[in-house]
Each structure stands twice: as structure tokens, then as C-alpha cells.
A and B are shown apart, each in its own frame.
Chain A
């Protein structure tokens, strides 16, 4: 394949394909990519694709349309990597990964929260609205509310300086020592590791709470006590 003429490179990864697109007009690149996939239909069938779009600035429309068209071909788009913060944000809003995490799922199972370095936290200074899904291979800190219909899946802990009314899954890869804390914990559902709890009653008087697994492995939440 001549790279100058065809600015789309496809590389095999351990768990899918990495497609790198070069500079140029997005519409043309998208068409070229879809054409190539169409030409090698059987090769791409059922593939998991991570897309590196370089400096392209992509909006929700662009990514949604690409994701839909790929899924018509039986292809899952799971990650979009970009140097543009706008594109990265778009990808996050759509619940796509924005980096290919090095550790494979089996390895990260032994990953304890304590071993995560400080940089492994995602800081979000906004309210997460219905339909937003945040997945992150570390801790997640939200400065804002988590509204009903929003979801956070973190491999580490989740800390919300605000109200939680959506769904939060901490220790999503199985870490039972993960915890979730918030100023007001009135979620639709909480999950820590494999435990799911839906019976957390909303508080009449909101108070900071921390949810974790107790000795019996059950999810419980206790109010924060100033010492």
C-alpha cells in the first residue's frame, strides 16, 4: 500500500486493529476508510477497531455517523485517539476510550488501586448528564453532579464533589477495595467490583457518604464523620 496516495494505515494489535488516518479532509478520509473496509469485508468482519485520527477535529455527529456505519459492517469502534482535545472530549462523551491501555484485562485484574499512580485519575469539571458514559482505567473525580441516566465506569475509585443520581461502577475490573464517595449519594445504582446495589435510599438531608464493600462483601454506604 502506498502511504502517500493512501493516508490510512491499518495495524494489528493484540485485541483488535489500530487504524491511523493521516491529514486531509475528514469526509474524504471517512469515505476512503469505509471503501477499504468494504473491499475486504471478510477480513474486517467482527473486528474491534481503535482509530487514531491525529489532529482531526471531530464533532459528535462525525463520530456517531462513523460508528454507526462501521457497526453496519459488523465492526466495533471502541477507541478514538487524537491530539485534539475537542475530538478527545467528543470521544469521551460517546463513551469511547481515548487511549489504548497497555495492560490486558487479565493483567489489570491483579492491579490494585493502591498501585495506581496519581496521574491515573480523570478529572471532570462538569455535570454529567443523562446519556453520558465515562469509562476510565483509573480513578475518576467529578466536580459537578452525576445525573440520572449518566454512567461512570472506573477501574479505580470514584469521587464526586456533587450529587450522584446516576450509575457508578468503581473497581470495574474486579477491585473489591474500590470505593465511591460523594457529597450526596442518591444513585440509581452503585456497583463495586462484582457487587450491585440498587436499594440505596435517597437521603432527605443530603450528607457526604462513602460506599464500599464490607467484610461480608456486601455493598454498604456510611456517612462521612468529621474526626
Chain B
């Protein structure tokens, strides 16, 4: 096996990095892939909660890096998918416990174990961001259709270019079609127009996401949820499948986005 390492990052906090990692991981695992998620937010761990694995943690990322356990021991197996694992963040340490070269070493070790490694980056552009992207083959930049989130995403894309982690893909999260219609929210077009990178998914706002997050049951498992479908589509596009963008609105807006994203 030769895993692909994907980092989800955003600059701004609270735009949905952890939710996206959990959902894309679940969607990849449900299609039969072997997946390992890494919570990169040392000191502020969340991904275990969102995936409903909090009570199974014995060892964490820092334990692996500092050699207190073997890699396999820190990989927590998911309740639903036997081929989905989580390496949780340490809660009692901080970002200084991990360096970019630690992550590269860990990523290389994981490559032979799984098909996909998903890294949940901490917010910000400091050390945590640097080590989270160090091992990545591909970076997904996630943003909300809000001016401040888009500004931070733009900064992050600039830093990725400078680090030669080029060609990141974009996820627009929590788009509210009715607010867009009333001109109260940036449109997906506005965001793509400014950031000018490849779009890999648009996730509509959905209350069920919060419910799923609190219950530790990612929404991608819910066949009826639009947001869940959007995350499943992102997983498929990551796997190289050409999935048409969902029609969330009948204004012809989505057809235009699909044109902008180079799809038909």
C-alpha cells in the first residue's frame, strides 16, 4: 500500500476542519478504503469526540513521536469501520511537542499501513499549521462563505504556495442557499473567484451536522443528509471520480459553479 496523505487546513478556526476530516474519513472508509486520521491539534483535541472514540484513547500522537508506544498501539480502531483508524492528539501537551520532520517520519511510516492518511490541522499559520502540512501530498483548504474566513484561506493558500505545497483544493463549507438568494451571504462563485483554486466540494449548511458531531456520528453516514452527500462526493472526488456538483438551488447558480470548476 502507498497511502496518500491529505491535510485539511483553513487558517481561521471554527470553519469545519475537524468535521470535514471526520466525514471524509468515514466516507472513504465506507467505500472500502483503509483510512487513518491524525488529529494535529495538540492541546485542543476534538477529532476523537467528533468520531465518537474519546473513551478508547490510550496512546496519542505525541506518545508515538516520543517513542512511548508503537505506531499501531496509538491507532484507535473505529466502532463502525474496522479499517478506519484515529491517532488522537495529546491533550496535556502543546504544539511544541511536534515538529514538521516528526510528521514526515510518521507519514512515511503510515504509508505502508493504509490507503489514506487524513491530517486535521490546527487553526492558525504557526507551528501547528507548519507540521500539519509537512507530510501532505495534497492539501484541502476549507472555508466558509464569509469575508474573514475567505481572507484567511487566501493567506493560507499563499503560504502553501511559498512552501511549494502547490495546487490545494477548496471546500466551501456551511453555504446557506437561502441566504445567498437574499444576497446576505457570499456566493460560492464569489469565493472561487477570489481564491482561484480548484473546487472539490460545496457543503450546505445543515443542522444535522451539529447533532452528528455531538453524538460522535459523522453526518456522512446519513444517507438522507445533503451535507452528508456533499462530504461523500468530496471523498469520491479525492479518489479521482468525476462526480457532478449537487444542485442545492434551482437558480442555475450551481451550473455556473460547475462551469467554473471545469466540470460539466
In the assembled complex, how far is the CB of residue A59 from the closest CB belonging to chain B, in whole angstroms?
7
What residue in chain B is nearest A131 (Cβ atoms)? B155
Determine the distance from Cα of A61 to Cα of B131 in the docked complex, in whole angstroms: 11
Q: Which of B64-72, B157-165, B234-242 contacts A (4 or more CB under 8 A)?
A: B157-165
Main secondary structure of the interface of B (DSSP, over half): helix
CB < 8 Å A-B pair total: 40
Are B196's CB and A60's CB within 8 A? no
Are A60's CB and B155's CB within 8 A? no
Are A149's CB and B159's CB within 8 A? no
Whether, in the assembled complex, B115 has its beta carbon less than 8 Å from a beta carbon of chain A, the answer is no
In the assembled complex, how far is the CB of residue B152 from the closest CB belonging to chain A, in whole angstroms?
7
Determine the distance from Cα of A146 to Cα of B214 in the docked complex, in whole angstroms: 40
A147 and B162 contact, Cβ closer than 8 Å, known pairs A130-B152, A130-B154, A130-B155: no
Whether, in the assembled complex, A67 has its beta carbon less than 8 Å from a beta carbon of chain B, the answer is no
Residue in B130, B157, B164 whose CB lies within 8 Å of A129 = B157
Determine the distance from Cα of A93 to Cα of B154 in the docked complex, in whole angstroms: 14
In the assembled complex, how far is the CB of residue A197 from the closest CB belonging to chain B, in whole angstroms?
21
Determine the distance from Cα of A128 to Cα of B194 in the docked complex, in whole angstroms: 11
Determine the distance from Cα of A130 to Cα of B157 in the docked complex, in whole angstroms: 9
Chain B residues with CB under 8 A of A131: 154-155, 158-159
Whether, in the assembled complex, A132 has its beta carbon less than 8 Å from a beta carbon of chain B, the answer is yes
Are A130's CB and B163's CB within 8 A? no
Whether, in the assembled complex, A7 has its beta carbon less than 8 Å from a beta carbon of chain B, the answer is no
Chain B residues with CB under 8 A of A130: 151-152, 154-155, 158
Determine the distance from Cα of A179 to Cα of B152 in the docked complex, in whole angstroms: 29
Are A149's CB and B155's CB within 8 A? yes
Q: In B92-131, which residues have CB < 8 Å from any A CB?
A: 100, 130
Main secondary structure of the interface of A (DSSP, over half): loop
Are B151's CB and A149's CB within 8 A? yes
Interface string of A112-131 (1 = CB under 8 A from B): 00000000000000011111
Tally of chain A residues near chain B (CB < 8 A):
16
Are A60's CB and B154's CB within 8 A? no
Q: In A121-174, which residues have CB < 8 Å from any B CB?
A: 127-132, 145, 147-149, 165
Whether, in the assembled complex, A90 has its beta carbon less than 8 Å from a beta carbon of chain B, the answer is yes
Residue in A60, A127, A145, A149 whose CB lies within 8 Å of B162 = A60
Q: In B54-79, which residues have CB < 8 Å from any A CB?
A: none
Determine the distance from Cα of A145 to Cα of B163 in the docked complex, in whole angstroms: 20
What residue in chain B is nearest A94 (Cβ atoms)? B162
Are A148's CB and B154's CB within 8 A? yes
Chain B residues with CB under 8 A of A128: 158
Residue from the set A131, A145, A165 with the largest chain B CB neighbour count within 10 Å: A131
A149 and B130 contact, Cβ closer than 8 Å, known pairs A59-B163, A60-B159, A127-B196: no
What are 23 residue pairs bridging A and B, where the CB atoms are less than 8 Å apart in the complex? Answer: A59-B162, A60-B159, A60-B163, A61-B100, A90-B162, A93-B158, A129-B155, A129-B157, A129-B158, A129-B161, A130-B154, A130-B155, A131-B154, A132-B158, A145-B194, A145-B196, A147-B194, A148-B154, A148-B194, A149-B151, A149-B154, A149-B155, A165-B194
B residues with a Cβ closer than 8 A to A are 100, 130, 151-152, 154-155, 157-159, 161-164, 194, 196
Given A60-B163, A147-B194, 19 more pairs with CB closer than 8 A: A59-B163, A60-B159, A60-B162, A61-B130, A93-B158, A129-B154, A129-B157, A129-B158, A130-B151, A130-B152, A130-B155, A130-B158, A131-B159, A132-B158, A145-B194, A148-B151, A148-B194, A149-B151, A149-B154
Query: Nearest 6 A-B pairs (CB), nearest first?
Result: A129-B158, A130-B155, A130-B154, A131-B155, A60-B162, A129-B154
